[in-house]
Amino acid sequence: MPLTGFAQTTIPLESDRFAIVLHTDKQNYLHMVYCGERLNRPDEYKHIAATFRFPGDNSGIYSNAYTPAGTWNLAEPAIELIHNDGNPSLDLKYVSHKTTPIDANVTETAVLVADPVYKVSVTLYYKVWKKENVFEQWSEIRNDEKGPVVLNKYASANLFFTNKDFYLTTFQGQYLKEMQPMEEKLLQGMKTVDSKLGTRAMLLGTPNFMVSFGQPARENSGMVMLGQLAWSGNYKLDFDIDSYQNLRLIAGINPYASAYTLGNGKSFKMPSLIYTLSGNGTGQASRQLHSWARNYRVLDGNGQRLTLLNNWEATYFDFDETKLSGLIGDTKKLGADMFLLDDGWFGNKYPRNNDNAGLGDWQENVKKLPNGIGYLVKEAQKTGVKFGIWIEPEMVNPKSELYEKHPDWVIRQPERPEKYYRNQLVLDLANPDVQDFVFGVVDGLFTRNPELAFIKWDCNAVIYNAYSAWLQKNKIPQTHLYVEYVNGLYKVLQRIRAKYPKVPMMLCSGGGGRGDYELLKYFTEFWPSDDTEPIERIFLQWNYSYFFPSITTDCHVTDWGKQPIKFRVDVASMGKLGFDVVVSHLSPDDLAFCQQALKNYDSFKDIVWHGDQYRLASPYEGPVASVGYVSQDKNRAVMFTYFHSNRVVESFTSRPIRFAGLDPDKQYRLKELNVYPGKKSPVDESKVYSGSFLMNVGINPNVSAGRASVVLQITKVN
Ligand code: DGJ
């Protein structure tokens, strides 16, 4: 069936610059017919469908706004189910739609499609943030049949693009090498990105993607889409180029081992696909997403964050009260806001002295901490810093009292040998008792220590041997486990946030495995990678910055790498700054540098956290990388530039780097920050430049092998 016919109903979903258009054909099937610049005359949207001619009997299905399976569809479906009577066919026709303005910037459109024969319906939701050109799409299926239906596939969103030539960048990797961008031209057939890891689902690959239309993605030109499936468990993204070279995108929970039985009278809400569209390349797309995330999504996205000293790499499991009191003193000496106590503070029958025991037993180890956490919190208070603590409440070591008491709380195949990831197993968050327990870990800590200022929530294992004793006992299919685990986690987090709405919490997952826009509703920040080697970090932070604003990205100075402390601090200052070093091992000059750098960070952190980010020079394109941040009023900016390769290519460093985002008519002065003690900056602070000069001619921070990192402050002259 051709994609022609007369539009019965046209549903434009418009942002300030873009429009996605749905329309129904003569048979009342709902199609997505357009994604592009919004039209000046909205009455013309109804003519779009008739301008395309894709002949062939099955072609009309390609553009389906939510492709069902089992009737005349021969393409990858968005939804596939078995009805209560065992029939596997689904047909979905348009019934109605409603657009609700939420405020001046946000609208939500709900489109109801239903099977004309069976009592199953799906509501397709489209939420649009106009100014940010951000779209959020999810679906909700309802079963009004006489008994349960089984959902074999249940995607969140199904999109269709008729633009020509699609380039896809996915962000894959592995532990210590997360978020590696891989760009390819999509050719006919299907490219799938997925995870089957259960929890810490993004360890090997992420649900973040970039689609560039017509050409490979560029930073400052071209139409691009940056997107993410906001789901913290198994996900699946299908990029399907059809036989007419159109792109079909189907994104949702991974159907792998996850057939879901939906009871009659029940609905199931799928997670959100979140994306932004830009006509000016990835730079603008990222800024849109950052601004949306800060204003609408991330917990306290426009708020403050705490700089910190973490003891993990300073002590690992080897500490006691005296040592920690010393580190609390060091936090103050350094000038950070908070001391963060990491792993190893708990477990008595099985002390947590390494990673093979104690996980799950959240009582202070009496040998290490005879006076408990409360004593340390008070010590911190006396010293004038805040105190934060590490937990990993979803996990258990088999060598723990928790495991001994509640083997049925653990995800494991009872008839098979256990298989461990980092010597641990995952607790069964489908089980409400386990949800209570996990909530209780956090609640107990805050109840006993109301001054606790921060939680680092770790998650270091994948789900092996997926099996839930609780689901079995309650006669719920085992194939619900992956989904109910994630929903259980969200339930716990909702309870925590109802009681402790603002306490900052960091998502950690041995690096990289977690950090998505569903979890970031409850967390203020995340740990992008255990790899803190600063050159690797330039690349990693660059890649994360496509999707996440700097305020969410925790960056710690550690002893990784051979670069001097200045280089390491400068790189970490591009995100939320922390330290994980032995302060007493720093040379007097290094210490003085760090103390001054923390003061400098305090002076510009509002720009890094709340300003607009500009990726100025890509580390992938030469030995120099540069990133700038500009305050919303364009009066202040900060520029970080690095010489990251020893493959000296003079031409790269001899040219200025064009800055961006300033007001061309304002006048600015430059000042070099984070100058190492005893060094002199070549930057002439008396010179005044127009924004126009800095953006068209540029700035040369004069980086070289001997001057490998430079931080410049750019301030408007009054
Ligand atoms: C993995 C994290 O990434 C580290 O920062 C540290 O918290 C360890 N877990 C503790 O076990």
**Do 288 and 278 contact (CB within 8 A), yes or no?**
yes
Whole-number Å distance, alpha carbon 118 to ligand 1 midpoint, is 50
Compute the distance between CA of residue 409 and CA of residue 470 in angstroms, rounded to an integer: 8
Q: Does the pLDDT at position 6 exceed 60?
A: no
Whole-number Å distance, alpha carbon 314 to ligand 1 midpoint, is 12
Q: Which of 621, 627, 602 is nearest to 712 (CA)?
A: 627
Q: In this predicted model, what pLDDT tens digit does every residue of 330-354 receive, in sequence order?
A: 999 999 999 999 999 999 999 999 9
The percentage of residues in the chain with a pLDDT greater than 90, rounded to a whole number, is 94
Range name among 55-64, 427-436, 561-570 with the lowest pLDDT average: 55-64
Averaged pLDDT, 151-162: 98
pLDDT at 385: 98
Which residue out of 530, 560, 581 has the highest number of ligand 1 atoms within 8 Å of its CB and is therefore the one to mutate?
530
pLDDT at 649: 60
The percentage of residues in the chain with a pLDDT greater than 70, rounded to a whole number, is 98
Range name among 48-62, 244-258, 287-301 with the lowest pLDDT average: 48-62
**390 CA closest ligand 1 atom index:** 7
pLDDT at 56: 74
**310 CA closest ligand 1 atom index:** 5
Whole-number Å distance, alpha carbon 391 to ligand 1 midpoint, is 10
| Alpha helix segments (H runs only) across 425-549 | 432-448, 469-473, 481-499, 534-544
Find all residues with CB under 8 Å of 670, minimum gap 6, and list them.
683, 684, 685, 687, 689, 699, 712, 713, 714
Whole-number Å distance, alpha carbon 693 to ligand 1 midpoint, is 45
Q: In this predicted model, what pLDDT tens digit does every residue of 278-287 receive, in sequence order?
A: 999 999 999 9
Which residue out of 312, 456, 540 has the highest number of ligand 1 atoms within 8 Å of its CB and is therefore the one to mutate?
312
Whole-number Å distance, alpha carbon 342 to ligand 1 midpoint, is 7
pTM: 0.97
Beta strands at 688-690 and 709-716: parallel, antiparallel or unpaired? unpaired
CB atoms within 10 A of CB 374: 15
Q: In this predicted model, what pLDDT tens digit does every residue of 584-627 receive, in sequence order?
A: 999 999 999 999 999 999 999 999 999 999 999 999 998 999 99
Q: Which of 489, 506, 519 is nearest to 411 (CA)?
A: 489
**Do 426 and 412 contact (CB within 8 A), yes or no?**
no
pLDDT at 648: 61
Please state, rounded to an integer, the average pLDDT across all residues of the chain: 96
Confidence category of residue 7, pLDDT binned at 50, 70, 90: very low
Residue with tokens 């008739």: 50
Q: Give the dihedral of Cα atoms 64, 69, 71, 74; nearest 10 deg.
A: 70
Q: In this predicted model, what pLDDT tens digit does every residue of 419-441 receive, in sequence order?
A: 999 999 999 999 999 999 999 99
Q: Which of 47, 63, 45, 44 is nearest to 3 (CA)?
A: 63
Residue with tokens 């007097």: 588
**Strand residues in 295-391 grouped as ranges (E):** 308-310, 338-341, 386-391
**456 CA closest ligand 1 atom index:** 7
Averaged pLDDT, 277-298: 98
Which residue out of 311, 342, 392 has the highest number of ligand 1 atoms within 8 Å of its CB and is therefore the one to mutate?
342
| Inter-CA distances, 176 with 416, 536, 580, Å | 31, 9, 17
Q: Which residues does a 6 A CB cutoff place in the pocket of ligand 1?
A: 312, 342-343, 390, 458, 460, 508, 510-511, 527, 530
Q: Does the pLDDT at position 8 exceed 90?
A: no
β-partners of residue 506 are: 456, 525
Q: In this predicted model, what pLDDT tens digit does every residue of 508-564 receive, in sequence order?
A: 998 788 989 999 999 999 999 999 999 999 999 999 999 999 999 999 999 999 999
pLDDT at 652: 61
Q: In this predicted model, what pLDDT tens digit does every residue of 304-331 receive, in sequence order?
A: 999 999 999 999 999 999 999 999 999 9
pLDDT at 4: 42
